[in-house]
Structure formats: structure tokens, C-alpha cells
Chains A and B, each alone.
Chain A
Amino acid sequence: MEDFEPRIIGFLCNWCSYAGADLAGTSRLKMPPNLVPIKVMCSSRVDPEMVTDAFLRGADGVLIAGCHPGDCHYDKGNYYARRRFAVLKKVVESLGLEADRLRLSWISASEGARFQQVVEEFTEKIRKMGPNPTGKETLL
């Protein structure tokens, strides 16, 4: 447990959150290296199945990040993403799985510092939760 390093998958939207992550990098903000970013064109591109797949393959946390409500590059993609995410979380909760390992955050292109803060917070939270038991489960 002591040397547990969380592996977190981050689905970042191309227009806001990925640019926010970029800004955090170019601003040389320090943050934990635990998040593996995957660029998607919009947070609404993230099918619940993609999140479930990451979760069941042993990702300790899954983050979806997109533009703030009202700022979606495609006008309303993030509103749809929010509904889908809520449904997935309910499914996971209903089945008694750890829904706290899933997170939806809005991070704009100018919020490098917020990106850093979200990654820090989420990594700490997951570190406390410990490794995702799906990683050690043989019969998935």
C-alpha cells in the first residue's frame, strides 16, 4: 500500500480541458504524474462503455473533463455528457461498485491552475481509496 501509485485515466476535451492541461504544462505547474490523458473531441464523445472499460481494466480512477457548462465548443455537448455521466455513476452505484473512482470536472483552456488542482485532489483521493480491486480480479 505504501508504494501505491494510482493510475488515473483522464478523458480531456480537445477545446478546453486538454488546452488547460497544456497550459498547466507550459506554466510549469507541478502536479502528480498519475494522470494518463486521452484527448477526445468533446466530453460527450466519452461513451459510458469507455469509462467502464478503463475502470474494469484496473484504472484506479477515471476523470472526464470538458468545457464549463455554457462554453462547449459544440454548444451543448457537455450538458449531454453530464447526463450520461450521472447515469453511469448510478449504474455503478446500484451494483455496489466504487462510484467515487469516477469524476466529472469542468476545466477551461485558461484554467491551468485548476487543472493542476483537480489532478492533485483526485490523485490524493484515489491514493486514500487504494488500488482498484478490478486490477486483481481474475474473472472479469
Chain B
Amino acid sequence: MNSILIDIIEKAMSSGMISSVMVPSRGPEDSFPWTLVSNISALQRAEPLPPVMSVQGAKALASFTQSLPEGKLLAVMRPCEVRSTIELSKLEQIDLDRILLLTMDCPGAVPLKEYVENGMMEPDISSPETLRPLCRQCIEFTSAGDLCLSVHGGLHSVVSLTARGEELLDSLGMKAESNTSEWKEWANGLRLEREKIKTESTESLKKAYSGLQGLVEAFSGCISCRSCRTVCPICYCRLCFIDMKDRRSPASAHLEHSYNAGAARLISNTLLFHIGRMAHMSLSCVSCGMCEDACPSDIPIGRLVSMVSDNTTELFDYSAGRNPEDPLPLNTFCLEELHEYED
């Protein structure tokens, strides 16, 4: 798939339609940092679909595209990265005006820790055990952004998903694939399998970590490194509520809790951090799994947030990253709604 993607990128760059491309490139020691490529010769090192997700693409994109001064940028990313890019554009962290998003049938990624320990390994879409836990249960593994490269269901070509995508294909003299029925059948089949995995995983998660005791157990190993927040594309705040100095508990609060409960955890507010974060970002969570990949304590944080996010988005029939036109649920309201929550 990499070579087809590079072929498309090359065509787009040499046609002048695209002035630069954001794509992972091969670095030393089998690493794959994101790069902004402006010269076709530098595409030699491009690896559009590396086996691991080291930095979330949307985060890389947001690091420099609050506004692009000139030219058009093609960002080559996985579907979950495209969806968080769309969320970040709603959060005014990315300006999509000059950006085209190219995605592909995503094979998933291998867990970062295993990759670091064992060296080069490839994700295998047909054997879930090679994938990260959230990739195993991912049902949004294709069709996001402006263009999608498909290699399944007998297809080997690009499907345009928006007018802008179509325009780019036209200008490259490429035809968008029109017969997509086999590909859709493949996607539906995989989606069904994944949904089953997801239901099972959610059930066992609930069984293990539901209620106060369950949550205490889940997060007792949390080392408060905040890596989950650091790697999360949606957590863009410069100052997180948990780090605000004026809301740090005074010694008296720790002591009072200690008197009441017999003892009190230090560094405290572990649950507050995780629940507060879920309340803040779960509506925009795309279940990319970065948080879980980054957690040094193997807390199933990604699956937990994803489970919560399924329930919160359902309130507003919202799907993170689905449609750039859908407003963020917390930025809008209906006069008559949610009566069961008020009195």
C-alpha cells in the first residue's frame, strides 16, 4: 500500500496542485517521525503507513496549521487521525481550508511497547492479536477525509469522499473508483467482526472496572505522568484543569480526607483527573488508542474512554470526526431536549 500512496503523493506534488505533504518518514532505528515534505526527492524516505503510531497525525498537523499562509497541503493519515483532525478543526486548532486529507484502508498498528522491545513487526489486519487493543475493536478503519485509498475487495484505487477530493483526482488525471460494492462488502464484513470484539471487550471491561471499587482498581497503578493527556490529540489546552495552581488541595484537605477514610492517597486526584478528562473530551474522542499505547502502567485507559465516549456521543447522536459540518455538541443546544436530566 505504501508504494501506491507514494505514487499518488508524487503525482500530486509534480502537478503543482499540492505544495507540501505531511507524511511519516523513516528515521533511524526503525522510527517513523512525521515530516513536512516539500521536495519530491525527499519522498524517498516517506512511509505513509508505518507499523506503529508514535505521534498522532492530528497532533502533528495542529502543531503548525492553525493557519497556513500559502499553498495547499496534503496530509496522509490513518482514518482515526483524519477524524481527530476534523475535531481539532472544530476546536479551532487546525484550519482545514488549505488542507487535503488522504487516508486509506487502515490495517491497524502494533502496540508501541512490543514494537520497541521486539523491533520491526508488521500489523496483520486478519490476526487481531498483532494489533493494539483499540485497533482490534476499531470499526472506523476506512473512509475518512477527502480521499481514501482502498486495497481491499478487489479494488486498488482511490475513492473520493468529498468534492475537494474529486477535484484533486481530476487534476491528476486519475479517475475515482466508481464500482465500490466489493470494497463496501469487505468493509461491512470486517466491521461486523470488529463490533463483536468491541462488545465483548466492553462487557469484560465493565465487569472488571465498574463502580468505585473497580475504578480504584483500574487506576491504582496510575503514576500521574499525564502521558495519556500529552499524546491525546483532543487534549489541546495549554493549561489543564488538573494543573491549575489555585485548585491544588491544601494540606488540610488531605488531612481531612485521611481522618475520614483512615488514609489518603498522595499524589491525589487520580480519579478526578481521569473522570474530569472524560467529561471534557469524550465527545470528541475518536478511539485512536494513543493514550493506552502511551500508558506505562498498562491501564486500559483508551478502552475506558472509548466506552464512555460511546455513551456520551449517543446523547446528541454525534460521531466524532464524521462530519465537519456537525457542530460540537457542547457549542450548541436545542430548546427542547434532555428533560430527563433536569427538573
Residues 89-127 of A contacting B (Cβ, < 8 Å)? 89-97, 103-106
Indicate whether B211 reaches chain A with its CB closer than 8 angstroms.
yes
Indicate whether A73 reaches chain B with its CB closer than 8 angstroms.
no
Closest Cβ–Cβ distance, residue B149 to chain A (whole Å):
35
Indicate whether A28 reaches chain B with its CB closer than 8 angstroms.
no
A79-B333, A91-B279, A134-B212 given; A57·B257 CB < 8 A: yes
Closest Cβ–Cβ distance, residue B79 to chain A (whole Å):
24
CB-CB < 8 A to B192: which residues of A? none
Binds A, one of B27-35, B100-108, B155-163, B264-272: B264-272
Closest Cβ–Cβ distance, residue B176 to chain A (whole Å):
38
Residues 240-295 of B contacting A (Cβ, < 8 Å)? 241, 247, 253, 257, 260-265, 268-272, 275-276, 278-280, 282-283
Closest Cβ–Cβ distance, residue B303 to chain A (whole Å):
12
CB-CB < 8 A to B263: which residues of A? 138
**Residue of B with least CB distance to A69:** B335
Interchain CB contact (< 8 A) of B272 among A49, A88, A136, A138 = A49
Interchain CB contact (< 8 A) of A52 among B206, B210, B216, B279 = B279
Interchain CB contact (< 8 A) of B312 among A52, A69, A79, A90 = A90
**Residue of A with least CB distance to B276:** A49
Q: Are A52 and B342 in contact (CB under 8 A)?
A: no
Closest Cβ–Cβ distance, residue A125 to chain B (whole Å):
12
Complex: how many Å from CA A86 to CA B333?
Answer: 12
CB-CB < 8 A to B55: which residues of A? none
Q: Are B268 and A96 in contact (CB under 8 A)?
A: no
Per-residue B-contact encoding for A37-80, CB less than 8 Å = 1, 0 else: 00000000001110011001110000000000110000010011
Residues 2-28 of A contacting B (Cβ, < 8 Å)? none
Complex: how many Å from CA A75 to CA B342?
Answer: 18
Indicate whether B343 reaches chain A with its CB closer than 8 angstroms.
yes
Q: Are A58 and B212 in contact (CB under 8 A)?
A: no
**Residue of B with least CB distance to A136:** B261
CB-CB < 8 A to B311: which residues of A? 90-91, 93-94
Indicate whether A130 reaches chain B with its CB closer than 8 angstroms.
no
Q: How many residues of A contact B (CB 8 A)?
A: 41
Closest Cβ–Cβ distance, residue B239 to chain A (whole Å):
13
A49-B241, A56-B272, A91-B282 given; A105·B342 CB < 8 A: yes
Closest Cβ–Cβ distance, residue A108 to chain B (whole Å):
14
Indicate whether B329 reaches chain A with its CB closer than 8 angstroms.
yes
Complex: how many Å from CA A119 to CA B307?
Answer: 34
CB-CB < 8 A to A91: which residues of B? 275, 278-279, 282, 308, 311-312
**Residue of A with least CB distance to B212:** A133
Q: Are B338 and A139 in contact (CB under 8 A)?
A: no
Closest Cβ–Cβ distance, residue B306 to chain A (whole Å):
11
Indicate whether B120 reaches chain A with its CB closer than 8 angstroms.
no
Residues 286-343 of B contacting A (Cβ, < 8 Å)? 304, 307-308, 311-312, 315-316, 329-330, 333-335, 337-338, 341-343
Q: Which 7 A-B pairs have the closest CB atoms?
A: A96-B210, A48-B279, A79-B333, A96-B211, A49-B276, A138-B263, A86-B341
CB pairs A–B below 8 angstroms (23 shown): A49-B272, A53-B269, A56-B269, A69-B335, A70-B335, A79-B335, A82-B333, A83-B316, A84-B279, A87-B312, A87-B329, A87-B330, A91-B282, A91-B308, A92-B275, A106-B343, A137-B212, A137-B216, A138-B265, A139-B265, A140-B216, A140-B269, A140-B271
Name 15 extra pairs, CB < 8 A, besides A47-B241, A56-B275, A140-B272. A56-B269, A56-B272, A69-B335, A69-B342, A80-B330, A84-B330, A85-B341, A87-B315, A94-B307, A94-B308, A96-B215, A136-B261, A138-B261, A138-B265, A140-B270
